[in-house]
Amino acid sequence: MATSEETTVNDRGGTTIPAEIRDQFDIDSGDKIRWTVTEEEELAIKVVKQKTGVFADFEPASMGGDGKTAHDTTGAER
């Protein structure tokens, strides 16, 4: 299915991705758009999804102590 939409570029070079296209490609806040100019001088864009849950399977490691004592950036106990 071909989709064609028009938007206006603002003074800062920004534009809004139409809702129908955002929905079709599941584009969310934080995702990136990769702009590529092909050898045929055509513009191609690709959605680069924001990585979520990067640490979802992270197992915390004990650093010793009871976990209730905080330290500042110098390592001094607070």
- Give residue-wise pLDDT tens across range 29-76: 989 999 999 999 999 999 998 876 666 677 777 666 676 777 666 767
Higher pLDDT pick, 71 / 26: 26
Q: Is residue 12 part of a domain?
A: no
Looking at the DSSP bridge assignments, the partners of residue 77 are 71
Q: Give the DSSP H/E element, type plus range, for residue 44.
A: strand 43-48
Domain count, the chain: 1
What integer pLDDT is reported at residue 47 of this predicted model?
A: 94
Q: Which domain holds residue 29?
A: 19-48
Q: Higher-confidence residue: 3 or 49?
A: 49
Least confident of 14-18, 21-25, 60-64: 60-64
| Neighbour count for residue 66 (Cβ, 10 Å) | 5
Does a structural domain hold residue 9? no
Instruction: Tell me if 69 is assigned to some domain.
Output: no
Residue 25 lies in a domain: yes
Q: Look at residue 65 and tell me if it is in a domain.
A: no
Residue 41 within a domain = yes
Q: Which two tokens stand for residue 34?
A: 């990769």
Q: What is the mean pLDDT of residues 10-24?
A: 95
